[in-house]
Structure 1
Amino acid sequence: MRHEDQPTPAAALFDALGPAYEKAFAHAPAHLSALEWLIERLPLAARTLDVGSGTGRPTAAALIAAGHSVLGVDVSPVMVELAARQVPEAEFRCGDIRELPIEADAFDGVCVFFSLLQMTRAEQSALTLRLARALRPGGHLVLATVPADVEDVEVLFMGRPVRATSLAEEDVVGMVEAAGLTVLSRHSTAFTPDHPGAGPEPHLFLYCRRDETGR
């Protein structure tokens, strides 16, 4: 058990990366396309949840610009401080989404962009189920991850060693469907972050809906 005042590995990583993470990833075309897809389907003045909200850009900033409210949750205090400064119209909370109470049927849209990779597979499945239940019937969720059949392996991310866990593409789809969501479409791409020494990364984006009669 870690001490309460000891940061999680994810918090320590993103505290250290800070604005460099935004520079590396914020302009990824597939990420921006997923945001556009979600925004097109949100009702007026929608309530949205951004899981792993980072610096607030591009996700929270785009949602606010489209006239929606945003609750961003991130485990990194540095990221939350940056986000609150850059997107002051949104609400940001510093905390572990695995431990944060999430009200059922509370959100019209949920974003989960690359925020599962430092969780165990059981935690990823449990959180996906909670996020699906947090959607109102008819609400939409966009999820992005690095599809790979790996569990607690060390990888180098932006020059730093990270323990990562993920699932192969079909297993990610299965996890989302088991949570009660319909995968309307998926998009696979390769993206090279704007960071020294970075190479292309496989990215998977799922475009999902909680159906009206889904539960």
Structure 2
Amino acid sequence: MTDGVQGQRAAVVFDALGPVYEEAFAHSEAHLASLEWLLGRLAPGSRVLDVGSGTGRPTASTLAAAGHDVLGIDVSPVMVELATRRVPDATFRRADIAEVPLQDGSFDAVCVYFSLLQMSRERQSDLMGRLARALRPGGSLVLATVPVDVEDVAVEFMGQPVRATSFAAEDLVALLNRAGLAVESEHHAMFTPAHPDAAPEPHLFLYCRREETQPAV
């Protein structure tokens, strides 16, 4: 999910949450709707990268059940172990996505569900450029986040202390455009995770396509 110390912090948080995270977010209709959108754009046997794959549900499980070749990357060893058991038809690796080599044009789709929020803005920008280049021209990317204008703010997430960084919606769209991604549509929703320490939070889902011509690096 993140780089260096940020990645270590994220691993601690999600190791502690484990299956509780999946249970808290399993009823997100917006998440499921975004997967349906993605499935409608993929050719049979497409190669999909799931960044911050968590327990593998619902993202990797939905895509793998539809016959796609899914690679999940997560910094949390607990999450990777859970995902490997729960979604045996997908492949999962414990790694920091910032350190994973990504070949240009090697994926038909990329999923980035709430996996940027513990990265610095510089790391988020760098990663989105790499992910855009890893998509084949015309490939699809779905990104979900909490669209608030904050940087390195201490918050409590489901009982776990974290430091969060995010962008306002329009600034995130601009970042994706600079990376070479066209935002075809966006969906805003309020969501309350099923957890006693959770509060309602705004969610933003961006449905994107890689431009045929990538910006100069």
Return the TM-score normalized by structure 2. 0.95
Q: Which amino acid counterpart does residue 14 of structure 2 have in structure 1?
A: F
Alignment of 1:28-177 (within 5 A): 28-177=28-177
Q: Which amino acid counterpart does residue 193 of structure 2 have in structure 1?
A: P
Q: Please tell me whether the aligned partners of residues 180 and 213 of structure 2 are also in contact (alpha carbons under 8 angstroms).
A: no
State the alpha-carbon separation in 2 of the partners of residues 199 and 175 from structure 1.
28
State the alpha-carbon separation in 2 of the partners of residues 118 and 197 from structure 1.
19
Q: Which amino acid counterpart does residue 125 of structure 1 have in structure 2?
A: S
SS of 2:40's partner is: helix
Cα distance per residue 1:158-181 (max 9 Å; x no partner): 011110000111001011111000
Q: Please tell me whether the aligned partners of residues 102 and 130 of structure 2 are also in contact (alpha carbons under 8 angstroms).
A: yes
State the alpha-carbon separation in 1 of the partners of residues 154 and 142 from structure 2.
26
TM-superposed CA distance for 1:30, in Å, is 0.5
- 1:200 aligned residue: 200
State the alpha-carbon separation in 2 of the partners of residues 198 and 13 from structure 1.
15
Q: Which amino acid counterpart does residue 19 of structure 1 have in structure 2?
A: P
Q: Which amino acid counterpart does residue 22 of structure 2 have in structure 1?
A: E
How many positions carry a matched residue from both structures? 212
Task: Identify the range of structure 1 (189-198 vs 82-91) with the bigger mean alpha-carbon deviation.
Answer: 189-198
Alignment root-mean-square deviation, CA: 1.5
Return the TM-score normalized by structure 1. 0.95
Q: Which amino acid counterpart does residue 178 of structure 2 have in structure 1?
A: A
Task: Flag structure 1 segments of 5+ consecutive residues without an equivalent.
Answer: none
State the alpha-carbon separation in 1 of the partners of residues 84 and 103 from structure 2.
23
TM-superposed CA distance for 1:214, in Å, is 4.4
Cα distance per residue 1:177-198 (max 9 Å; x no partner): 1100000000111000000132
SS of 2:139's partner is: strand
Q: Which amino acid counterpart does residue 49 of structure 2 have in structure 1?
A: L
State the alpha-carbon separation in 2 of the partners of residues 94 and 198 from structure 1.
27
SS of 2:84's partner is: helix
State the alpha-carbon separation in 1 of the partners of residues 130 and 28 from structure 2.
27
